Amino acid sequence: MMLGFVVGSLFMFSSCTQDTLNPQKIAYGSLIQVASDGTTTVSTNNLLAAFTATPSLSDAEVAMLLKMKEEEKLARDVYITLYEKWPKPIFSNISGAEERHLQAVITLLKFYNQADTLIAARGVFSTPALTQLYQTLVAKGDSSLANAYQVGLQIEEMNIKDLTEALATDPNANIVTTFENLLKASRNHLRAFYLQLSALGIVYVPQFITQDEYDTTVISPMEQGRQYALQNHNRYNYQYQHGNNGH
């Protein structure tokens, strides 16, 4: 009995010591969830918990985020509209995922206390060029189901191109974390639309990425998310912590 008491006491002492030495137990988790059809959503809660303290955004980084906010909205709006014409699960599922992607970018903007986080009505965008692109894509997708799938491929490869180019500028760590996961999601959605179009016996020619990149991507498996440290103590008001420090 005495031996059991001693062993138990040592175990309790060891646990208390570990808790004292490591008071903040960091959980780990993925930032994306991938469904069997390739639909890939971003967990904004996990994303926020994975953010780290960085200097404030540069003007170029703000512009980068606002551009991606509009692109994610474009994807969401087009897929919602195409689902009304062609009630296929892929349009409903991926439009829902794009809403989560849009919220991921907005979460990042809010983390840095940026003002432009509102979302306009469907089909309404910040520039006439994007509004025209939305109308063009919807008109093309309305003409046939095959064209609707090709619109999906076009949107996803456009996102892949712009996300890749943005990451090449070496932005801050939180943009990298967000964009790397959005890029995985876009590649998974490209694969999903490819499978739908291939089932119709139609070959798609990429417009924004190279043929080699397209071919390599669509025949590779769906990508899964890696594990990130989810440090909940990072959920603070950014400007309160950092003031107006430059980038």
What's the pLDDT score for residue 3?
Answer: 44
Domain contains 72: yes
Average pLDDT over residues 202-211: 97
What's the pLDDT score for residue 12?
Answer: 47
What's the pLDDT score for residue 18?
Answer: 44
For 198, phi then psi, to 5°, come to -65, -35
Tally of domains within the chain: 1
CATH classification at residue 48: 1.20.1260.10
Domain contains 13: no
Specify the residue for token string 């509004």. 131
Domain contains 5: no
Length, in residues, of the chain: 247
DSSP string, 26-79: -EEEESEEE-TTS-EEE-HHHHHHH----PPPPHHHHHHHHHHHHHHHHHHHHH
Domain contains 46: yes
For the whole model, what pTM was predicted?
0.85
Domain contains 16: no
> Helices 173-199 & 211-218, crossing angle to 10 degrees?
80
Paired residues of 229 in beta bridges: 28
Q: What is the pLDDT of residues 17-52, one digit of tens each?
A: 444 444 567 789 999 999 999 999 999 999 999 999
In 80-237, which ranges are E strands? 227-230
Nearest in space to 66 (alpha carbons), one of 130, 126, 155: 126
Q: Is the CB of residue 72 less than 8 Å from the CB of residue 102?
A: yes
* Residues contacting 49, CB < 8 A, separation 6+: 230, 231, 232, 234, 235
Task: Please give the Cα distance from 27 to 49 (Å, whole number).
Answer: 10
For 228, phi then psi, to 5°, come to -120, 150
Q: What is the pLDDT of residues 133-166, one digit of tens each?
A: 999 999 999 999 999 999 999 999 999 999 999 9
Q: Is the CB of residue 135 less than 8 Å from the CB of residue 142?
A: no
Residue 233 predicted with pLDDT over 90: no
> Above pLDDT 90, what percent of the chain?
82
Least confident of 71-80, 91-100, 176-185, 235-244: 235-244
Would you place residue 232 in the very low, low, confident or very high pLDDT band (cuts 50, 70, 90)? low
**Looking at this protein, which amino acid is placed at residue 108?**
L
Domain carrying residue 95: 24-221+228-242
Specify the residue for token string 């965008």. 125
Domain contains 203: yes
Paired residues of 34 in beta bridges: 40
The percent helix, strand, coil of the chain (3-state, each to 5) is 65, 5, 30
